[in-house]
A and B are shown apart, each in its own frame.
Chain A
Amino acid sequence: MRKMLTIISTVLRGNAGKNGARAVVAARTYADFTQQATFDIKKCDVHKLEEGPPLTSTLTREDGLKYYRTMQTMRRMELKADQLYKQKIIRGFCHLYDGQEACAVGIEAGINLTDHLITAYRAHGYTLTRGGTVREIMAELTGRRGGIAKGKGGSMHMYAKNFYGGNGIVGAQVPLGAGVALACKYQEKNELCVCLYGDGAANQGQIFETYNMASLWKLPCIFICENNKYGMGTSVERAAASTDYYKRGDFIPGLRVDGMDVLCVKEATKFAADFCRSGKGPILMELQTYRYHGHSMSDPGVSYRTREEIQEVRSKSDPISMLKDRMLNNNMASVEELKEIDIEVRKEIEDAAQFATTDPEPPLEDLCNHIFYNEPPMDVRGTNPWSKLKSMS
């Protein structure tokens, strides 16, 4: 007890480090942890906005543990996918999200599950935050019947409620997202759509077409560019005449956000969501983030960037470490507690991987199903004229 009070008073005496905080001590719980703390966060650059998101973010212990667990789950899940891919149990495309966890978790923290979200192919993290389970995600990667899309979609085509994938064609998801936002406005449910794309996609024409219509029609759409500095193997400097992605919406207000800090992303998303919900139309956020893996599993990721660069980001800006340090330094959690979470996460991933490798592949009867919705059974031509396969709705 005494020890706890000493720690708390030390913090209060204010040693403002990188994660300097003013700690607010709430009522003591049996665990004597700080129940919530307010942290300084990086200021966002703004475009066509009078002011940006707040410069501080208040984090409760409960939320902190939740974000930590989710980010850690995401990280471990992606690393397991890497392993399974190298064992050839996952095949085809596999675009991993490790390093970018703060984006997915921070965004979800700033919106509701009743809001909508769509992204491109680096989608496993979002499938998780939108309600998919690790089991379903991994089984989809291994192409099994227990997969979230019954094994028929694969890495890039995972769906959940109010989550429209997982889209393989670069940039195509952006007009789709604005369409979802149109439906939100039309149906008057005060919902919005978060529409994600990468720095590579940011130069696509259809995105500018979408900016135009979203702005004209004041669609409740948050456009988010996840700038991880490389579009496949091409650095942003080599692909874009202007790398100020948050300004590329021109007439659409924009924010440039530290995408490695989950609190920064959360505050920016809340700010953006308020903007949209007030009927002002779309807003654009650029999240500056980083991916540890290459573009996909077929890209080692070191031919166009140095190992030193990757290592530097890992040691100085890792999103999970940042949150962990903040919580430990402010007595919001103990080392043991976080270790406990790590162990639980590891187990969850192991179980999921076990399921994903042992669940059977989809039955052949499922081959021609799901062509049309709400349709009587029909015949589909097989590989030869005598092969008539059954298709159910």
Chain B
Amino acid sequence: MAALRCFLRSGKNAVAAGLRREIHQTAPASLQVTVRDALNQAMDEELERDDRVFLLGEEVAQYDGAYKVSRGLWKKYGDKRIIDTPITEMGFAGIAVGSAMAGLRPICEFMTFNFSMQAIDQVINSAAKTYYMSAGLQSVPIVFRGPNGASAGVAAQHSQCFAAWYGHCPGLKVVSPWNSEDARGLLKSAIRDDNPVVFLENELMYGVPFELSEEAQSKDFTVPIGKAKIERQGNHITLVSHSRMVGHCLDAAAVLAKEGIECEVINLRTIRPMDIETIEASVIKTNHLVTVEGGWPQFGVGAEICARIMEGPAFNYLDAPAVRVTGVDIPMPYAKILEDHSVPQIKDIMFSVKKTLNV
């Protein structure tokens, strides 16, 4: 019932919603599901599957989640498993890590990853490094999740992308879903993973609906961590991206296709461990590479991809230097016109593609 209610509330394409849980005679077809609902269902299913899984964070319980991602969960699972915390990130992140050390499987929500900076010591020093420091005696099965990167009009302190920061650290897995299938499958994998996983969502993607195949709707559907996906095949150039920018790449590819340029668009899905093999295979085919991300350029995801391409077999197949399309190297401004020009737009991707292809 909760699922039905939440589908109806999400407006848009809610028609098929009722079919899924309520009627069992008809085989489920593919469904339009928003990223938010995909995340919600993934958590619901994992909470049901394993008693040790629980969710804690600010406003996750009685408020139904600051961005409604945990809507309905508190009503269904109660105080023991869905815990509202005070606004004390360092404290509750540490508590979450400690509970993981002692046998539970927490999902620790940061209202945005900007606030995770207050707790970053617990994520890195207490969670990521412990299995290694203890030489395998102490594992930490925890998921840190929340929206990451730029939103809309939230300005400098609320818009930072942490993919590169967390992607830097051994002992962590870092995941960055784009669409609903990514969100659902990767979150389930993250919760089932016995290691610390940083799960970077995107606020602007929460309300976007995507088709979820029949297979993707199954309770045991997972997307493997560490494997990228080729969203669009192409021969002329490889575009590599993660999170919201994947959509921008696909849009740019659609426009470029009209001009006869066929882009291969790779959705990284996982930042760490990065699936460099998929990128290499693509570059060997297309001979050109452009990375696209929302975060800042220096020491970023794109920088890592370019470095690895240079160090690997794909370098010899490049017909032009690999380049990065990134957010502008400034704190995020507020005014709309400035904000719009602080993140990559479709025209920026197209421009970089054409420059790389020298057309």
Binding site for B on A (CB under 8 A): 116, 118, 149-153, 157, 159-160, 164-165, 167-169, 172, 174-184, 186-187, 193, 205-206, 209-210, 212-213, 216-217, 366, 369-375, 378, 380, 385, 393
B residues in contact with A165, CB < 8 Å: 130, 133-134, 138
Bound CA–CA A86/B104 (angstroms): 42
Please tell me which stretch of B16-24, B26-34, B121-129 contacts chain A, meaning at least 4 of its Cβ atoms lie within 8 angstroms of it: B121-129
Count B interface residues, CB 8 Å.
Answer: 44
Bound CA–CA A206/B86 (angstroms): 12
Whether A180 pairs with B91 at a CB distance below 8 angstroms is no
Whether A393 pairs with B136 at a CB distance below 8 angstroms is yes
B residues in contact with A183, CB < 8 Å: 98-99, 101-104
Interface centre among A152, A160, A176, A205 (most CB of B within 10 A): A176
Q: Which residues of B in the span 94-117 have a Cβ within 8 Å of any Cβ on A?
A: 94-104
CB nearest neighbor in B for A167: B126
CB nearest neighbor in B for A182: B99
A216 to chain B, nearest CB (A): 7
Bound CA–CA A183/B125 (angstroms): 20
A179 to chain B, nearest CB (A): 2
Whether B88 pairs with A213 at a CB distance below 8 angstroms is yes
**A–B Cβ pairs within 8 angstroms, 27 of them:** A116-B102, A152-B135, A153-B133, A159-B138, A160-B137, A164-B101, A172-B125, A174-B94, A175-B93, A175-B97, A175-B98, A175-B122, A178-B91, A179-B97, A180-B98, A180-B102, A182-B98, A184-B102, A206-B90, A209-B88, A212-B86, A213-B88, A370-B136, A372-B173, A373-B131, A373-B139, A374-B139
How many cross-chain pairs have Cβ atoms below 8 Å apart between A and B?
151
Contact digits for B79-90, partner A, Cβ 8 Å, 1 yes 0 no: 010010110101
A residues in contact with B50, CB < 8 Å: none
B residues in contact with A375, CB < 8 Å: 194-195
Whether B194 pairs with A179 at a CB distance below 8 angstroms is no
CB nearest neighbor in A for B89: A209
CB nearest neighbor in B for A156: B133
Interface centre among B93, B97, B104, B135 (most CB of A within 10 A): B135
A residues in contact with B133, CB < 8 Å: 149, 152-153, 157, 165
A residues in contact with B77, CB < 8 Å: none
Whether B94 pairs with A178 at a CB distance below 8 angstroms is yes
A residues in contact with B126, CB < 8 Å: 167, 169, 172, 176
Bound CA–CA A118/B102 (angstroms): 11
- Whether B311 sits at the interface, judged by CB under 8 Å, is yes
Bound CA–CA A174/B132 (angstroms): 21
Bound CA–CA A210/B88 (angstroms): 9
A10 to chain B, nearest CB (A): 51
Q: Nearest 4 CB-CB pairs, A to B?
A: A179-B98, A175-B94, A209-B91, A183-B102
Whether A216 pairs with B90 at a CB distance below 8 angstroms is no
- Whether B171 sits at the interface, judged by CB under 8 Å, is yes
Bound CA–CA A216/B83 (angstroms): 12
- Whether B92 sits at the interface, judged by CB under 8 Å, is yes
Bound CA–CA A370/B135 (angstroms): 6
Q: Which residues of B in the span 169-227 have a Cβ within 8 Å of any Cβ on A?
A: 170-171, 173, 194-195
Whether A168 pairs with B94 at a CB distance below 8 angstroms is no
B104 to chain A, nearest CB (A): 5
B residues in contact with A177, CB < 8 Å: 98
Whether A175 pairs with B92 at a CB distance below 8 angstroms is yes
A residues in contact with B93, CB < 8 Å: 175
A residues in contact with B54, CB < 8 Å: 186
- Whether B312 sits at the interface, judged by CB under 8 Å, is yes
- 6 additional A-B pairs beyond A164-B98, A179-B102, A182-B95, beta carbons within 8 Å, are A175-B98, A181-B98, A183-B104, A186-B80, A372-B194, A380-B170
**In the complex, which of the residues A118, A164, A179, A385 contacts B312, with contact meaning CB atoms closer than 8 Å?**
A385
- Whether B234 sits at the interface, judged by CB under 8 Å, is no
Whether A150 pairs with B99 at a CB distance below 8 angstroms is no
Whether A159 pairs with B94 at a CB distance below 8 angstroms is no
A residues in contact with B88, CB < 8 Å: 206, 209, 212-213
A188 to chain B, nearest CB (A): 10
A residues in contact with B247, CB < 8 Å: none
Bound CA–CA A292/B88 (angstroms): 37
Bound CA–CA A374/B126 (angstroms): 19
A159 to chain B, nearest CB (A): 4
A residues in contact with B195, CB < 8 Å: 372-375
Whether A205 pairs with B90 at a CB distance below 8 angstroms is yes
> Would A169 and B121 be within 8 Å (CB), given that A186-B99, A216-B86 are in contact?
yes
Q: Which residues of B in the span 282-299 have a Cβ within 8 Å of any Cβ on A?
A: none
Bound CA–CA A279/B273 (angstroms): 43
B residues in contact with A182, CB < 8 Å: 95, 98-99, 104
Bound CA–CA A298/B134 (angstroms): 25
B residues in contact with A370, CB < 8 Å: 131-132, 134-136
Bound CA–CA A370/B194 (angstroms): 12
B79 to chain A, nearest CB (A): 9
A residues in contact with B136, CB < 8 Å: 150, 369-370, 373, 393
